[in-house]
Amino acid sequence: MVSSFLSRNLYIFLFSLLGIVYIIGLFVPLMDNDSAHHANIALRMHLTGDYVNLVDYGKDYLDKPHLHFWLCAISYKIFGVTTFAYKFPSLLFTIVGTYSTYRLGKALYNTETGKLAALIVASSFAYILANNDVRMDAILTASIAFATWQLVAFIQSKKILHVAGSALGLALGFSTKGHIAVFVPAVAGLAYILYLKEWKLLYSWKWLLLIVLFSFFISPVVYCYYQQYDLHPEKVVRGENHINGVRFILLNQSIERFSGEMGGDAKNDYFFFLHSFLWAFAPWSILTYVAITGRIRTLFRRNEEWLTTSVFLVLLIVVSFSGFKLPHYLNIVFPCTAVITAVFILHNREGGRWIKNIFFIQISIAFVLLLISAVLNFWAFPVENYRVMMLVVILLSVFFYFIKSSTLNQLQKSIALSVSAIALCFVMLNANFYPQLLRYQGGNELAVATNKKVNPANVLFWKDTYSSSYNFYTGTLRRQFADSLLDSANKTWLLYDIRSEEEIKKSGYRLGEKFTSPDYEITKLSIKFMNPDKRKQECTTMIIAEIQRN
């Protein structure tokens, strides 16, 4: 039996610090582009009661499956259309994903590995970020972690209960983002079988049962695609009609993403995975690279299982050669990399040169995180709230306590100071940086400024003007401006960018009372925008104005 590496009270304390971070993040306003955009697809479901068709700004949405939108729409019905309601389902899945990582580490190694792996994954940068800028990633990662744990449990026990669990996890992931949620656990399961040399298991009839259950669980999503597209060949998406919705979700979606047909960010950056993983899995990424390097050198000695290593290496290859790369795609390897990192740390707990090296690596990363946080929160967006400042002082005290503590050895300090540093970093981001940054997102600011002053049902959008955050925070769907929609009996309002104002006036319309807000695409930050002295020049202005014919 492996003795406890960290005490029960220390685990509770560190998880509590992270809990504060996650809870504060539930109330950070949504960002335009993906978060508010996805929130509005779910909002349409909530407002119309149509849970079959995915519709985005009045057009059919052929990209991702339904589960994320269904969960958010259900949450709206329970909690109302709020930031909390949109983010809450992802937080619940994050808890499931963290617990599944614990069970995966326990199943592959022991309880102590599982506990440390859970702490590592819960404190990784992009894992926390997935609960701030909420997309599908928290749900997808949790589904993959759960499915992988259940596959390992099935391979070890051969029980049908775990067949059903595996099928459910795979189906939840597939219903969130397609085949990648099946591919990753499949790689994991196959690698584990090869490692154990369980050749007979490859021919078990229970795999057929898994496929049947998986097909049953994904049938609601497949049926919705059939209803939306196969029964309506006249629908046009991306310039094509006669769309086979069933074939798209069962095959084409994954092919299009891998080939880059659905986007091309960093398409030719073949080192994308390696450099993005450094910050995405911070503060643990360097230890992971060290551990992976060691595992590759001794792979065929079978010192460690092949499951986690194979998932990392296969995804490294797949992402590197994929035509569509985004940093949050890396989250799906985090449960496995957390286990790899936990095993590496625990293997070095008895002594040796790596204890000092681990401490040096982790304290260096921690200070870099704190330095970046200081720049963001004391130069770019200085802290304004004294409660936030008090919380920062408390967390800094905790951080330095762990450094100076005489009750913890260097390896234990490495874990504690890393978690406290990432907690401090995200408390400052969630409580100060993001709230101030979002003042430069015109949509949500105008929603607040016009509350009870402008009827959002009478707000029209000028052509090519979009603001998902405005629609979400007013609980309305976007309506594009047309002359026929001008209402002589009620005030009609127009939402537009100031750069369109001359065009509007030249089109024969008169603008009356106005509400304005600075506007910037905050998901694409620049050094000039971050500089308080130059920020104003980098912003445009979003306006809601009363509009009438001349």
> pLDDT by residue (tens digit) across 442-501?
999 999 999 999 999 999 999 989 999 999 999 999 999 999 998 777 899 999 999 999
Q: Convert the pLDDT of each residue in 525-535 to its tens digit.
A: 999 999 999 99
Which of 439, 454, 483 corresponds to the end of one domain?
Answer: 439
Same domain, 155 and 294: yes
Q: Return the closest-CA partner of residue 122 out of 283, 300, 287, 241.
A: 283
Percentages (nearest 5) of helix, strand, coil residues in the chain: 65, 5, 25
Task: Please give the helix or strand (H or E) that residue 531 lies within, else none.
Answer: none
Q: Is position 121 within any domain?
A: yes
Same domain, 126 and 269: yes
Q: Convert the pLDDT of each residue in 163-174 to its tens digit.
A: 999 999 999 999
Please state, in angstroms and as integers, the Cα–Cα distance from residue 323 to each residue in 239, 268, 376, 392, 411, following that order: 21, 7, 33, 41, 40
**pLDDT of 211 strictly over 60:** yes
Q: Is position 4 within any domain?
A: no
**Range of weakest confidence among 118-132, 179-193, 244-258, 365-379:** 244-258
Residues 6+ apart with CB under 8 A from 30: 36, 39, 83, 86, 134, 444, 468, 469, 472
Percentage of the chain lying above the pLDDT 90 cut: 84
Other Cβ atoms less than 10 A from the Cβ of 543: the count is 24
pLDDT at position 323:
65
Same domain, 487 and 409: no
Q: Is position 183 within any domain?
A: yes
User: Dmax of the chain from CA atoms?
Assistant: 83
Same domain, 403 and 450: no
510 alpha carbon, distance to own chain's centre: 43
pLDDT at position 266:
57
Same domain, 391 and 456: no
Same domain, 183 and 245: yes
pLDDT at position 490:
84
User: pTM higher than 0.75, yes or no?
Assistant: yes
How far apart CA 327 and CA 268 sit, in angstroms, is 14
Range of the domain at 109: 10-347
Same domain, 42 and 186: yes
Residue 255 binned pLDDT confidence (cut-offs 50, 70, 90)? low
pLDDT at position 500:
95
CB 323 within 8 A of CB 262: no
Residue 550 binned pLDDT confidence (cut-offs 50, 70, 90)? confident
What would the DSSP string read from start to end of 362-417?
HHHHHHHHHHHHHHIIIIIS----HHHHHHHHHHHHHHHHHHH-SSS-HHHHHHHH
Same domain, 341 and 464: no
pLDDT at position 260:
54
**pLDDT of 261 strictly over 70:** no
Q: Is position 361 within any domain?
A: yes
Which of 439, 473, 504 corresponds to the end of one domain?
Answer: 439
> How much is the average pLDDT of 109-132?
97
pLDDT at position 63:
87
Same domain, 64 and 96: yes
Q: Return the closest-CA partner of residue 213 out of 150, 276, 130.
A: 150
What would the DSSP string read from start to end of 128-155?
HHTTTS-SSHHHHHHHHHHHHHHHHHHH
Residues 6+ apart with CB under 8 A from 312: 288, 292, 333, 336, 337, 340
Which of 297, 329, 347 corresponds to the end of one domain?
Answer: 347
Q: How many domains are contained in the chain? A: 3
Other Cβ atoms less than 10 A from the Cβ of 494: the count is 25
Q: Is position 424 within any domain?
A: yes
Q: Is position 2 within any domain?
A: no
pLDDT at position 319:
85
Q: Convert the pLDDT of each residue in 315-342 to its tens digit.
A: 999 888 776 667 778 999 999 999 999 9
Rounded to 5 degrees, what are φ and ψ at 240? -125, 145
DSSP class of 434: H
Tokens 């981001």 — which residue?
Answer: 429
Residue 251 binned pLDDT confidence (cut-offs 50, 70, 90)? confident
Q: Convert the pLDDT of each residue in 262-313 to its tens digit.
A: 445 556 677 888 899 999 999 999 999 999 999 999 888 888 899 999 999 9
pLDDT at position 263:
46
Same domain, 466 and 362: no
**Range of weakest confidence among 276-285, 348-357, 396-405:** 348-357
Same domain, 180 and 290: yes
Residue 258 binned pLDDT confidence (cut-offs 50, 70, 90)? low
How far apart CA 466 and CA 483 sit, in angstroms, is 18
Same domain, 531 and 446: yes
pLDDT at position 237:
87
